[in-house]
Structure 1
C-alpha cells in the first residue's frame, strides 16, 4: 500500500470504487472484491494532490446509498409480505454498511476528527456538515443507516400507508388470536429500529413501542370485556394468566428489553386492574368454598397491580374471624366444662389457615399477618361468648394437660406437642396477666395436691412462658417450684429431728412450707377451723422445729388446702379414704359417737354452715354419712355414720370435688387481677413521670398504655383513676399554668 499523495481523477477512481461498493451491497462477485484495494482507493482520494477529495467522496457515497435504498424500497413494496422482504434486505444492507465503513476507515477519521463513538457506531453529534450541506459529518455506516431510515422507514410510513408497521401489528394480532405464529424474521425487522436509532431507542419507541402499546391496549380491552361477560371468574382468571404468560414470551422474542415491563403493565391494566373489583368480589366465595386454585390465581393476578391484594387481606381476615367466632358461639357453655374443644379447635383452625398461607399465597407475610390479626380478634373478643374468656380457658386447658388425672390418654410427647401449640394462641392474648393469675392458681393446686403428671412438663411450660413474656412473668411460678423442693428438704430435716428427739407425733405427716407472696392462695375462711386433737402434737412439734431453724418467720397454717388419708376400721372390709383436712375433722368426730346434729358438727369443727355443707356433701353422696332429712340442713338435722357402708373400691378419693374450681375462687382471682392492674398502672405512671418529669395528660396515658401492652390492655378510665389516686398521694401534681399537664414530685 502506497502512502504518498498523488494526483487522481476523482470520477475515474470513484467509478472503480463504486463497482466494488455495488458488488458488496448486492452480495454478488464478492470473490473479486479486494478490501486492500478499496482501502487504497479511499486513501488516494482523501490524500489527492493538490486538493483532497474527502467531502466529494463522502457525498458520492451518499448519492450511491440514496439510489440503492430507493431501489430496495421499491423491491420491498413489490412484495405482499413487506415485513419479511424488509428484514431480508436490512440484513444484507446492515452487513454491507458495516464492511463499507471499514473500507472507508480513513475517510471516517478525517470526517470525525479522529474520534469514534463506539456506542453510536461512530456517529458524532456535530452541527458542521460536509460540502453541500446535505449531510452531517459522520461515519459511512452512520450515513448508511440514516439514509435507510429516511428512504425506507419514513418514506413507507408517509407515502405508503405505513404498510411495514401495519403488517407487523397484524402479524402480532394473528399470533394473539392463535391463527398464525409470528415468523422469527419479524424480530429482525423490529430490532432494525433499535440499530437505526442515533439517540437511545428514540426511533424504536416512536415507530414501534408507542403504537404497539395502543394496539395492545385496544386488543386486551376488547377481549377482557368479552371474556368476563361470558365466562365464570375462574375461567376469566385462567384466561388472564394465560394471556400474561403469552405476552411475556412474545415480548422477550419480539420487543427490546426496555419495552417488556411497559407492555406487560398495559396487559395487566386491561386484564387485571380494569376488572379487579369483580375478582376481589368473588374472593370471599373462593375462600369459603376452598377453591384454593382460584385463590392462588386471584392473588397472583392482583399482586401485579398496586394495592390489588389489600381487599383480599381484609376478606381473608374477616372470613377467618367469622369462622372462629361462629364455632365459639355454637360451643356455648360447654367451653366452661371442657376447654379442650375450644383450644384445639382454635389450634386446628390456626394451623389450617397458616397452611393455606404457605400453599396458596406463597407464604406472603401480609397474609400471615392477616391470620395473626384474625386470631387476635377471636381470642380477645369476649362479646360473642362470655364463657369463652381465652386467658382463663387456656389456663384450664394447660391444667387438663398437666394433671395426672387427665382423661385424654395422651403420651408425654403428645402433651408436650399440645402445650407447644398452645403457646401459639397464648401469644395472641392481650390480657396475659389474667392467664398468669389463673395458671398460677391451678399450678399451685397441682403442686399442693400432688396432681402434676410430670415435673419436667411443668418446668418446660414455665420455660415457654418465660420465652414468650420474660423472666418477670414467671418469677413467682419458678418460686413455687423452689418452695416444693425446699419443703422436701425441710421434711427430711424434720424426720431427723424427730429421731434425735424422741417424741410421739401421733401420725405420719409431711409439710409444704410456701412463700406467702409467691402462691396465689386466695381462699380465706370466715371462721377458724378447730384442728383435731389427733393432729395437735404433730403441728406443735413441727412449729417448734421450724422456729428453731428460722427465727423471725411466722407460719400461717392453711387447713383448707391440707389433705389426709384415713382408714375406716369399723367395717368388715377395710377402706382407705383420701380426704381434705376439713373432711377429716368431721370423720374423726365419729370415733366418739355414731350420730351428730348439723349444729354439733359446726361447734366441734369451727366450720361455718356454708363450708360444712360443701365438706360433707361428697361423703353424703358416697353414702359414708346419712342425713336424716336429705336435701335440707338445719341445726337439728342429724348426720349419722353409715355402719353398713360398702363400695367396690378399697381406696376412694373423697376430696376430688373439693379440689375442683369454685365460682368464688374464680371471682377472687379476677378481683386479684384488677387489684394487681391498679398497682401496676400506678407504678408505671410513677416510672414514666420520674423519667420525663413533665407530661401532658394525653402523652402520659399513651406512654402508660405502651408500657402495659405486654401484660394487658388497660382502659383509659382505669388509668385516669390511677392518676387521680397518685395526685391524692402527691406523687405527681398538676402545673399551675396548665391543668392538663402533670409534673413529678420528688
Structure 2
C-alpha cells in the first residue's frame, strides 16, 4: 500500500537506486528486476516527495561527475599522444553509449522538473532510445562531461590529433580512427539545440584550419623557391586535392573553410607569381599547364579574370598579326582569306577546349577577340562614304570581311574550278563554315547586300553549280538569324525564276523563234538595286523582240508594267573572221558595241562615234570597251585600238577601235579555228554608279532601321533613359549591323526635331514618346 504524500522521502529510496545507476554508468549487467525497480522508485520519489525531484537530479549529477573524474584519471594516465587519444575515445564512446540508456528510467523526473501534468506510464526495458534524445538527463550527462573532462584536456586532445594529421601530411602512417573519434566527440558533445556544431566548429575545426595554414605557410614558399613556378603549380594542385580528401575524412560534411584557407595560402599568396606565367604559357599554347593554372586560379575569387583578359588579348594580337602577315595572299583570294580565318578560329577554339574545358567565360573571351579580328580594318577596309546622300557625309571605315565572305560563297555556289573539284558534302561544310564566321561579323547587312548581288548574277546567267544548295543557303541564313525581310527577298528571287521558266515555255509556243530568246520576268521589289537602269541602243535583232514580249505578257497579266533592265541581260553571238568561227557570251552592252561593226567589219571607229551609235553613258562605254580590248583571259583580244592606253580613263574622243581579224583562242600555243569564250566575267549586273549607290543605300537603310528601332522601343516603353535605349537598340539591330554612337545621336536628334519624341524637362537623358 502506498504511503501518503510527504511520508515517503528521497533518502529512503536513493540507497536502492544508486547501485543500479552506477552499474549503468559502468556498463555492468543490470537484471530486469533492477531495471523495473529503478523505474518504479523514480516514479515514487517524483510523486510523493515534493523536494525529491531536485534532490534526485543533484545526486544523479554528483555520481555522473564522479564517474567522469575517474575516466579523466584513466585518460590522463597516458603520456604518449596515440595512447592518450585511444584512452579518451574508449572512455568517451562508452560514456556516450550510456547517454542513450541512462536517461530512460528518469523520464518521470524530467516530466516533473518540466512541470508536465499527469502521471507517467512506467516504461519497460524495451523503451526506445529516441525518447531520450532531448532529455534533461542526457543533457546533464553531456554537459557534465564537457565541464569535468573535456574543458581540462581538449587542448591536449586537439594538439595530439593535429600532430597526427601533421605526421600524415609528412607521409607517416597512423590509425585515422583516432582523429575521427576525437572529432565525433566534439560533434556529439554539443547540447545546444540551435547549433549542434558549435563546440566542433569553435574548437576542432578551428584548430584544424590553424594547423593546416601553419603547415603550408612553411612548406609552400620553400617549395616555390626551390622548384620554380611550373613545378609549384603541380605541387599546389596535388596538395589541394589531398586536403579535400583529408577534409572529407576528418571534418564534418560542409566544412569548406579549411579548403579555402589552403587556397589562400597555396594560391592567393602567390597569385602575382602564377599570373606572370599566364602570358608565356598562352603564347606557347601550353594547354596542360594552362589547365593546371586555370584549376588553381578558379578557386580564388576573380582569380580567372586576368586569364580571361590575357586570352582575349592573345587571340586579338595573334589573329591580327597572322592576317597581316598573310595579307599578300589573302587580299588576292577570298578562299584563302576565309580559310585563314577558319584556321585561326579552330586554333583558338582548340586552345580554349584543351586549356579551359570550354568554360563559358573563356568561350566568351574567344568570341569577343575573334570578333575584333574579323572586323579589323588593317588588312581590308570598306569605305562607306555616301557622297551627296542626305545624312552623315562620312561613315567610319568597316571591315571588308562580309564582302569577301559573300565572294567566297559565290565561288562555292557558282560553277567555278573550286566548286567543280569539291563534293556536295564538302561544299555544304564550307558554306556552314562561312556562316560560322558570319556570326562574328558586325556589318551583316553588307554581307547580305553582296550575297544578293552574287545570287542575282548566278540566277540571271544560270551559273549556279547546285540549285538545291542555293535554296538551302537561304534557309541557313534564316536559321542563323539574318533579318527576315532580307531572307524573304532571296526566297522570292527563286520563286521568280521558277515562274519565268513556265512563262518561257508558254512564250516559245507562241513564237517561231523560240530558241533565240529566254525571258526572265522578275519582281522589282526583290531584284532591283537603286536607279540602275542604263540607256542603250539595242541591236535591231533584239529591239524586234521587245514589243512581242510585252504583248505576250499583257495578255497574261493585265495592269502590270514591264521595265527592261538591259544591264542585267546577256546573250551569245557568233563571231567570224579570217581565222575561224567563235561563239561569244557577251553582255547586252558588249553586244551593242560589237554590232557597230556588223555592217562594216574592217572599219576603224572612233570612241565618239561608238558613243553615238550605242547611246551608252560615258562610264559604261569605257568599261565595256576596256573589257573587249583587255580581257585578261585572252592572249588575242577581240578589239584593237590606237593609240595604246593604260586604262579606260585614257580613252579620248578620237581613240580608234577596230575588229581584230586575227582574233582566235590559243590552246597549247596554237590558234584554234573553233571555240567558245565567255566575255561577261564580273562585268554583268554592275554599273559604274552601282558601288556608290550601294554604299548610299547601305547607310540610308541603316538610318531608317535605327529610326524604326528607336520608335519601336519608345512605343513600348513610353519613356526611357538614354543608356537603356542604347542597350535595347543595339540588341535589336545586332543581327544587321552595330550602330555607331554618332549615328544613334544623329537619329535621336532628327526624331526629336520632327516631333516623334522629346527629352524630359527635368532630365535631358530621358526620352519620352510623342504619339
Does the pair score TM above 0.5? yes
Aligned to 1:135: none
Larger mean CA deviation between 600-609 and 179-188 belongs to 600-609
Aligned to 1:66: 65
Aligned to 1:567: 574
CA-CA distance at 1:232 after TM superposition = 3.2
| Matched ranges for 1:203-282 at <5 A | 203-258=199-254, 260-282=255-277
Aligned to 1:134: none
CA-CA distance at 1:739 after TM superposition = 12
Is 1:93 aligned to 2:104, yes or no?
Answer: no
Aligned counterpart for 2:601 among listed residues 581, 593, 603: 593
- The change in CA–CA distance for 1:242 and 1:663 in structure 2 (over 3 A counts) is farther
Is 1:424 aligned to 2:436, yes or no?
Answer: yes
| Contact 1:268–1:304 (Cα < 8 Å) also in 2 | yes
SS at match of 1:658: coil
| Contact 1:5–1:44 (Cα < 8 Å) also in 2 | no
Aligned to 2:636: 622
Q: Following the alignment from structure 1 to structure 2, what is the Cα–Cα distance between the partners of residues 699 and 715?
A: 16
Aligned to 1:131: none
Q: Following the alignment from structure 2 to structure 1, what is the Cα–Cα distance between the partners of residues 40 and 727?
A: 86
| Contact 1:626–1:639 (Cα < 8 Å) also in 2 | yes
Aligned to 2:412: 401
CA-CA distance at 1:627 after TM superposition = 4.0
| Contact 1:329–1:385 (Cα < 8 Å) also in 2 | no
- The change in CA–CA distance for 1:363 and 1:13 in structure 2 (over 3 A counts) is same
Is 1:47 aligned to 2:44, yes or no?
Answer: yes
Q: Following the alignment from structure 1 to structure 2, what is the Cα–Cα distance between the partners of residues 205 and 736?
A: 58
Aligned counterpart for 1:642 among listed residues 646, 657, 661: 661
Larger mean CA deviation between 84-93 and 35-44 belongs to 35-44
| Contact 1:434–1:670 (Cα < 8 Å) also in 2 | no
| Contact 2:571–2:588 (Cα < 8 Å) also in 1 | yes
Aligned to 1:365: 360
- The change in CA–CA distance for 1:3 and 1:155 in structure 2 (over 3 A counts) is farther
Aligned to 1:392: 403
Aligned counterpart for 1:37 among listed residues 1, 16, 34: 34
SS at match of 2:666: coil
Aligned to 1:300: 295
| Matched ranges for 1:236-635 at <5 A | 236-258=232-254, 260-332=255-327, 334-383=329-378, 385-386=380-381, 388-407=399-418, 409-467=421-479, 468-499=481-512, 508-521=516-529, 524=532, 528-571=535-578, 573-588=580-595, 589-590=597-598, 592-599=600-607, 600-607=609-616, 608=618, 610-618=622-630, 621-627=635-641, 629-631=643-645, 635=654
Aligned to 2:390: none
| Matched ranges for 1:59-138 at <5 A | 59-79=58-78, 80=80, 81-113=83-115, 121=132, 138=136
Q: Following the alignment from structure 1 to structure 2, what is the Cα–Cα distance between the partners of residues 644 and 370?
A: 59
Is 1:147 aligned to 2:144, yes or no?
Answer: yes
Cα displacement string for residues 651-696 of structure 1 (whole angstroms, at most 9, x for unaligned residues):
2222225349788644442232123223434555666677778889
Larger mean CA deviation between 271-280 and 50-59 belongs to 50-59
- The change in CA–CA distance for 1:324 and 1:686 in structure 2 (over 3 A counts) is same
CA-CA distance at 1:142 after TM superposition = 3.2
| Matched ranges for 1:158-177 at <5 A | 162-177=155-170
Is 1:674 aligned to 2:685, yes or no?
Answer: no
CA RMSD, Structure 1 to Structure 2 (Å): 3.9
TM-score by length of 1: 0.84
SS at match of 2:572: strand
Larger mean CA deviation between 192-201 and 674-683 belongs to 674-683
Aligned counterpart for 2:183 among listed residues 190, 193, 196: 190
SS at match of 1:320: helix
- The change in CA–CA distance for 1:622 and 1:449 in structure 2 (over 3 A counts) is farther
Larger mean CA deviation between 711-720 and 530-539 belongs to 711-720
Larger mean CA deviation between 18-27 and 587-596 belongs to 18-27
CA-CA distance at 1:191 after TM superposition = 0.9
- The change in CA–CA distance for 1:716 and 1:96 in structure 2 (over 3 A counts) is closer
Q: Following the alignment from structure 1 to structure 2, what is the Cα–Cα distance between the partners of residues 542 and 187?
A: 98
SS at match of 1:174: helix
- The change in CA–CA distance for 1:573 and 1:144 in structure 2 (over 3 A counts) is same
Q: Following the alignment from structure 2 to structure 1, what is the Cα–Cα distance between the partners of residues 743 and 38?
A: 101
CA-CA distance at 1:355 after TM superposition = 4.5
- The change in CA–CA distance for 1:450 and 1:602 in structure 2 (over 3 A counts) is same
CA-CA distance at 1:512 after TM superposition = 1.8
CA-CA distance at 1:595 after TM superposition = 3.3
Larger mean CA deviation between 626-635 and 108-117 belongs to 108-117
Q: Following the alignment from structure 1 to structure 2, what is the Cα–Cα distance between the partners of residues 189 and 701?
A: 62
Q: Which structure 2 segments of 5+ residues have no match?
A: 121-127, 383-398
Residues matched between the structures, number: 716
| Contact 1:313–1:370 (Cα < 8 Å) also in 2 | yes
Q: Following the alignment from structure 1 to structure 2, what is the Cα–Cα distance between the partners of residues 474 and 550?
A: 27
Cα displacement string for residues 126-185 of structure 1 (whole angstroms, at most 9, x for unaligned residues):
xxxxxxxxxxxx31x43333332222211235xxxx322211111111112222345312
Aligned to 2:396: none
Cα displacement string for residues 282-308 of structure 1 (whole angstroms, at most 9, x for unaligned residues):
223232222222222222222223222
Q: Following the alignment from structure 1 to structure 2, what is the Cα–Cα distance between the partners of residues 149 and 662?
A: 97
SS at match of 2:290: helix
Larger mean CA deviation between 198-207 and 597-606 belongs to 597-606
Q: Following the alignment from structure 2 to structure 1, what is the Cα–Cα distance between the partners of residues 580 and 92?
A: 115
CA-CA distance at 1:86 after TM superposition = 0.7
SS at match of 2:285: coil
Larger mean CA deviation between 467-476 and 658-667 belongs to 658-667
Cα displacement string for residues 191-238 of structure 1 (whole angstroms, at most 9, x for unaligned residues):
112211111223223332223222222223333333333333332222
Is 1:656 aligned to 2:691, yes or no?
Answer: no
TM-score by length of 2: 0.82
- The change in CA–CA distance for 1:180 and 1:563 in structure 2 (over 3 A counts) is same
Q: Following the alignment from structure 2 to structure 1, what is the Cα–Cα distance between the partners of residues 167 and 699?
A: 75
Larger mean CA deviation between 85-94 and 542-551 belongs to 542-551
CA-CA distance at 1:455 after TM superposition = 1.5
Is 1:713 aligned to 2:738, yes or no?
Answer: yes
| Contact 2:585–2:678 (Cα < 8 Å) also in 1 | yes
| Contact 1:43–1:107 (Cα < 8 Å) also in 2 | no
| Contact 2:590–2:625 (Cα < 8 Å) also in 1 | no
Q: Which structure 1 segments of 5+ residues have no match?
A: 125-137
- The change in CA–CA distance for 1:241 and 1:3 in structure 2 (over 3 A counts) is farther
SS at match of 2:319: helix
Larger mean CA deviation between 509-518 and 701-710 belongs to 701-710
